């Protein structure tokens, strides 16, 4: 247990031991805040500091005794640190450098993540990417865009069919469906499916009925399935070679653009910062 506690508390111990600058530790304590758990000299360990070095789920499940042991471990380290300082015991310069390098690397990595998080593809950028890759986003086979809502009872399903036929919007009804959480999230839209996937999803008999519908048409009766009934609408039909509608493919394009941005962000950022700060590498000519 002792070794496990030291491992978990390592980030806090590094902060505590990397220098004797009490002002730095006080600043960290003030910024993180939280209920005080322990104090040794002028250094304070708080609840928020402990939370910061333990995964949230583990912290919530932690028993009071385990927390007490971790705090005792921190206190022990601080007591020894104080005595070593009073005895003028020298610090390991190599160790301090390794800690500083690790801290700098983490700091830089977090900054890059922050810069990446600020990026969101614009509508113009997304549409431009879509238009320049028509082959990639064209439909390889005839495709059917199906919308569906699941109901536990046939009566509920028939009631919704009547409402839709009377002019109510399918997706609005889907979002209030009591038995279909997925439809409530996506309005019942199942996306585009080719003929084979349609057969696999609905079975040959029901799939044939769906394929026979006109674009925008609704199955006149609920389709019985295991544990309930489906109401189904053929929202759209696309022939082979047509482009996938932009609104359907847009989330995928945004993911691709973000992925592309991540791969080049750090390199572009470093190139920009080289021009800004003009670093000197005394080994630039090595290997040339």
- Ranges of each domain in the chain: 2-87, 119-138+243-288, 139-238
Percent of the chain past pLDDT 90, that is, above it, reads 43
Residue 183: count other Cβ atoms within 10 Å of its Cβ: 25
In sequence order, the β-bridge partners of residue 225 are 228
Q: What are the residues whose beta carbons fall under 8 Å from the beta carbon of 17, sequence distance 6 or more?
A: 77, 81
pTM for the whole structure = 0.48
230-279 pLDDT, tens per residue?
999 999 998 888 888 888 889 999 999 988 888 788 888 888 989 999 98
Q: Considering only residues 1 and 251, tell me which one the structure prediction assigns the higher pLDDT.
A: 251
Q: What is the pLDDT of residues 73-118, one digit of tens each?
A: 999 989 998 898 889 888 888 888 888 888 889 898 899 889 888 8
The reported pLDDT for the residue numbered 19 is 46
Task: Domain 139-238: state its class.
Answer: alpha beta
- Kind and range of the H or E element at 233? strand 228-238
Provide CB contacts within 8 A for 153, sequence distance 6+. 228, 229
Q: pLDDT at residue 193 above 50?
A: yes
Are the C-beta atoms of residues 258 and 119 closer than 8 Å to each other? Answer: yes
Give the separation between CA 41 and CA 60, rounded to whole angstroms. 29
Residue 64, number of CB atoms within 10 A of its CB: 7
Under 8 Å between Cβ of 224 and 205: no
| Angle, in degrees to the nearest 10, between helices 246-277 and 93-117 | 140
Residue pLDDT, tens place only, 154-175: 999 999 999 999 999 999 999 9
Average pLDDT for 15-33: 71
Which position has the higher pLDDT, 53 or 39? 39
* Six token digits for residue 151: 């109901």
Q: Residue 43 and residue 16: Cα distance in Å, rounded?
A: 8
Given a contact cutoff of 8 angstroms between Cβ atoms, the answer to whether 137 and 244 are in contact is yes
pLDDT number for residue 12: 52
C-alpha to C-alpha distance for 267 and 284, rounded to whole angstroms: 18
Three-state DSSP class for 245? Answer: coil
Q: Which residue has the tokens 């021009």?
A: 275
DSSP-assigned letter for residue 129 = H
């Amino acid at each position: 247990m002792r070794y496990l506690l030291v491992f978990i508390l390592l980030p806090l111990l590094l902060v505590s031991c990397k220098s004797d600058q009490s002002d730095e530790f006080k600043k960290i304590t003030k910024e993180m805040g939280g209920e005080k758990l322990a104090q040794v000299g002028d250094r304070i360990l708080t609840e928020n500091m402990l939370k910061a070095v333990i995964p949230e789920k583990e912290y919530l499940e932690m028993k009071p005794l385990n927390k007490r042991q971790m705090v005792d471990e921190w206190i022990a380290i601080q007591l020894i640190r104080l005595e070593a300082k009073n005895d003028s015991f020298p610090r390991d310069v190599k160790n301090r450098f390794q800690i500083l390098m690790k801290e700098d690397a983490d700091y830089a990595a977090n900054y890059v993540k922050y810069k990446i998080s600020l990026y969101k593809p614009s509508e113009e950028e997304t549409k431009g990417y879509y238009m320049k890759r028509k082959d990639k986003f064209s439909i390889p086979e005839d495709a059917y865009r199906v919308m569906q809502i699941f109901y536990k009872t046939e009566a509920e399903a028939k009631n919704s069919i009547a409402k839709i036929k009377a002019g109510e919007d399918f997706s609005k009804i889907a979002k209030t469906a009591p038995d279909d959480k997925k439809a409530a999230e996506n309005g019942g839209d199942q996306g585009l499916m080719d003929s084979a996937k349609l057969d696999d999803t609905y079975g040959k008999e029901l799939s044939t009925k769906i394929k026979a519908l006109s674009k925008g048409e609704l199955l006149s009766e609920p389709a019985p399935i295991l544990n309930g009934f489906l109401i189904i609408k053929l929202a759209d039909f696309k022939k082979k070679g047509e482009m996938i509608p932009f609104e359907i493919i847009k989330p995928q394009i945004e993911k691709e653009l973000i992925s592309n941005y991540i791969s080049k962000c750090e390199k572009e950022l470093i190139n920009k910062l080289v021009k800004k700060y003009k670093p000197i590498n005394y080994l630039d000519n090595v290997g040339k």
